[in-house]
Amino acid sequence: MSTQSRPAPRVSIEAALALQNSGAVDEAERAFRALLLDDPNNKVAIYSLGVILIGREAVEEANQIFRHGCITTPDFAPNWFGYAVTCQKLGRWDQALLSYDEAIKADPHYVEAIVDKGVLLRNMLRHHDSLKCFERALEINPDHQTALGNYAILLSEFKQVDQSIALFDRLHRLYPNHDYIAGLLLYERMHIADWTNFASLRDEIIEGVREGRKVCKSLPFMALSDSAQDQFTCGRIFADHYAPKARDPLWSGDSYRHDKLRIAYVSPDLREHPVGHLMAGLFAHHDRSRVETIAISLGIDDRSALRDRIRSNFDNFIEARGVASNKIAEKMREMEVDCAIDLAGYTADSRTEIFAYRPAPVQINFLGYPGTLGVDYMDYLIADRHVIPPEHQTFFTEKILYMPDTYLPTDRSLKSAEATPTRADCGLPDEGVVFCSFSHDYKISPPLWRVWMSLLAKVPGAVLWLVARNEETKANFRNAAEMSGISGKRLVFAARVPRVEDHLARYRLADLFLDTWPYNAHTTAADALGVGLPVLTYQGGAFPARVASSLLHAIGLPEMITQSWADYEALALALVADPVRLATLKAKLSANKMTHPLFDTEKFCRAFEDLLFSVAHSQPKSGV
């Protein structure tokens, strides 16, 4: 008998496991396969071989092996766990949930199965059920690292801020190298203006990013650093971990020939959300003789008027909230999408992994996330030359497509309420300068706060008009003011109003909008300009800190762009000290709304479509 025809030598299960544990994976795989020839129902060999196959990305084969193990030894929890994991990877979420339940039934203390079930439920946006899983896992093991992290994140999403901060702080102390923990802790604190250890945590995060470590997710990092290089590094680190490319792309070079360019917008925010408001006008102005539009909605149906309006402006609106990402990608490939546009990036409830499957010839990062996704399967990013100067293109993995004026769409049809509320209605004093900043609280940090407090100190009677998520945030802002020598009573907080039109009308009561840094106001800056309130910005180095500059150029007010904190403060003081100058500026802004491109939605849409046609792999037939 030749050497090649001899059967693999039989080894004991103990020897095979020893090979696997030592890292001799090829030898271990041969040993487990040989064992299964003699005993096809050996539960340990089944599980161990399945684990090896998952590591080799042979998920379908692993799934079948685990399934056999579940049938032959239904009381062995690990094979149910392996079957659940592979079903989840294959997008068979309902079967995965049933299999996690079987694993837990076989072993009620199987923490990994409980935790992974919680992660799946969170991916399915079943957050309450997910929370229960992590609570159960922590009952079994109060220091379980993954359960602690996920539980804290869910509590944050449920706005239980104090509990989530306490858990993040505990995780940071127990597991200082836990993925992104320093960033998670600081970001959550920033949401309630809790600046405990701000400088030291920020420095720890920036140093960690420069060392290539997973210390902060890329979105929170935008509120901490104004370095385009550091933001690029952080984005690449996060992408390598969070959004790896699928092994087998769905689109592999096929040439489509459609009568119209087929565009798919993928977003969880096609509703009452800043992205929904910004995009609604663009959706409405698409030229249906040139393009066919598809919405892939990943988020909730909030039953709002905006949701209904958005839905009505699509040729095909697909509700995909509870659908696995690979199934969504397969549907997009089946529909022969020409251009797939990700409107979310790495923001809440996004699904970058849909694009990892490469469902379309052209894949574009746009609007919802002001930075690179750091992946090679996203072809383009739509921007303008103010937010990404040509010399900054090296900080993006995507090729940059430039809009002629600004990258940020606006909706000219969006109007503020005709009636302006009184100062008393809004809690503002009858007299005095009103500095306004309706940006998210996490965009406000100690360096910016010092400048704002200096303004209040130098403008007697002035107030700072803010928004805050809860009473704790308001108290923290007021305490920070008092520590700067400013009465907390000089901070006024805008209450929530049900209609966006009424919210916009309030801007008329302010004298000047103070932009944030290093993460600018984006939608809120556009809102302020649209109502006629001048925006003062400090232009930074990275994309998020240059958005207001883009808007100001597009509305013809570049004189409101400053390049340093000193200039920012000086210009604010000069404007509020000279009512005539400020009134002239407001009049110019009002006139420019009709003559400049910022609020010309139709012009924006035509330029946007032209960009898509310029890069589409399938051009429309002649005459279209």
* Integer Cα distance of 189 and 319 in angstroms: 34
374: left (phi over 0), alpha (psi -120 to 50) or beta: left
Length of the chain: 624
Residue type, 226: D
For residues 311 and 254, which has the higher predicted lDDT (pLDDT)?
Answer: 311
Query: Which tens digit of pLDDT belongs to each residue from 500-543?
Result: 999 999 999 999 999 999 999 999 999 999 999 999 999 999 99
* Interval 275-280 mean pLDDT: 98
Give the SS3 label for residue 434.
strand
pLDDT average, residue stretch 70-92: 97
Range of the domain at 495: 424-599
Whether residue 81 contacts residue 104, with contact meaning beta carbons closer than 8 Å, is answered with: no
CA-closest candidate to residue 398, choices 383, 408, 409, 411? 383
Of 447, 452, 495, 492, residue with least CA distance to 470: 495
* Sequence-ordered alpha helix ranges (H) in 39-175: 43-55, 59-72, 77-89, 93-106, 111-123, 127-140, 145-157, 161-174
Instruction: State whether 21 and 80 are in the same domain.
Output: yes
Residue 170 scores a pLDDT above 90: yes
The order of strands in the sheet holding 491-493 is 491-493, 463-466, 434-437, 512-514, 535-538, 561-562
Domain at 325, CATH number: 3.40.50.11380
My answer on whether 405 and 516 are in the same domain is no
Residue 622 has pLDDT above 90, yes or no: no
Look at residue 497 and tell me if it is in a domain. yes
Is residue 618 predicted with pLDDT exceeding 80?
A: no
Same domain, 581 and 540: yes
- Residue 322 resides in a domain: yes
Last residue of a domain, one of 73, 92, 108: 108
Q: Examine residue 125 and state whether it is found in any structural domain, yes or no.
A: no
Tokens of 46: 């089944």
Quote the CA–CA distance of 263 and 616 in Å, as a whole number. Answer: 10
Using DSSP, state whether 435 is helix, strand or coil: strand
pLDDT, one tens digit per residue, over 86-134 is: 999 999 999 999 999 999 999 999 999 999 999 999 988 899 999 999 9
Condensed to tens digits (0 to 9), the pLDDT of residues 580-599 reads 999 999 999 999 999 999 99
Determine which of 114-118, 213-217, 322-326, 608-612 has the lowest per-residue pLDDT on average: 322-326
159 in a structural domain: no
Question: What tens digit of pLDDT does each residue of 185-195 get?
Answer: 999 999 999 99
Is residue 216 in a domain?
Answer: no
Contact status, residue 521 vs residue 535, Cβ threshold 8 Å? yes
Q: Is residue 247 part of a domain?
A: no
Is residue 292 a part of any domain in this protein? yes
Residue 617 confidence (pLDDT):
58
CATH number at residue 47: 1.25.40.10
Q: Is the pLDDT score of 30 beyond 90?
A: yes
Q: Give the mean pLDDT of 449-460.
A: 98
pTM metric for this prediction: 0.92
Q: Do residues 373 and 489 share a domain? A: no
* Same domain? 387 vs 469: no
Is the pLDDT at 621 greater than 80? The verdict is no
* C-alpha distances out from residue 88 to 59, 85, 597, Å: 10, 5, 47
Strand partners, 315: none
pLDDT at 623 over 60: no
Partners of 362 in the β-ladder? 339
pLDDT at 9: 54
Q: From the CA atom positions of the chain, what is the Rg in Å? A: 27
CA distance 271 to 563: 36
The pLDDT of residue 557 = 98
Q: Which of 51, 82, 108 is the last residue of a domain?
A: 108
Is 432 found in the same domain as 348?
no
Residues 13 and 30 in one domain: yes
Q: Do 441 and 585 have their domain in common? A: yes
Question: Tell me, what's the pLDDT at 545?
Answer: 98
The count of domains in the chain is 3
Cis check for the bond before 534: say yes or no (omega within 30 of 0): no
Round to whole Å and give the CA distance between 77 and 83: 10
Distance CA 452, CA 464 (A): 8
Digit-coded pLDDT (tens) for 557-581: 999 999 999 999 999 999 999 999 9
CATH number of the structural domain spanning residue 526: 3.40.50.2000
Q: Which residues are CB-neighbours of 253 under 8 A, at least 6 positions away?
A: none
Say whether both 403 and 542 belong to one domain. no
Mean pLDDT of the chain: 95
Claim to verify: residue 365 and residue 429 sit in the same structural domain: no
Q: How far is CA 167 from the centre of its chain?
A: 22
Q: Which helix (H) or strand (E) is 238 found in, with range?
A: helix 228-242
Structural domain contains residue 418: no
- pLDDT for 120 equals 96
Residues 447 and 592 in one domain: yes
Q: Judge if 520 and 374 occupy the same domain.
A: no
pLDDT at 498: 87
**Which residue do the tokens 């802002």 mark?**
477
pLDDT digits (tens, 9 = 90+) for 400-441: 999 999 999 999 999 999 999 999 999 999 999 999 999 999
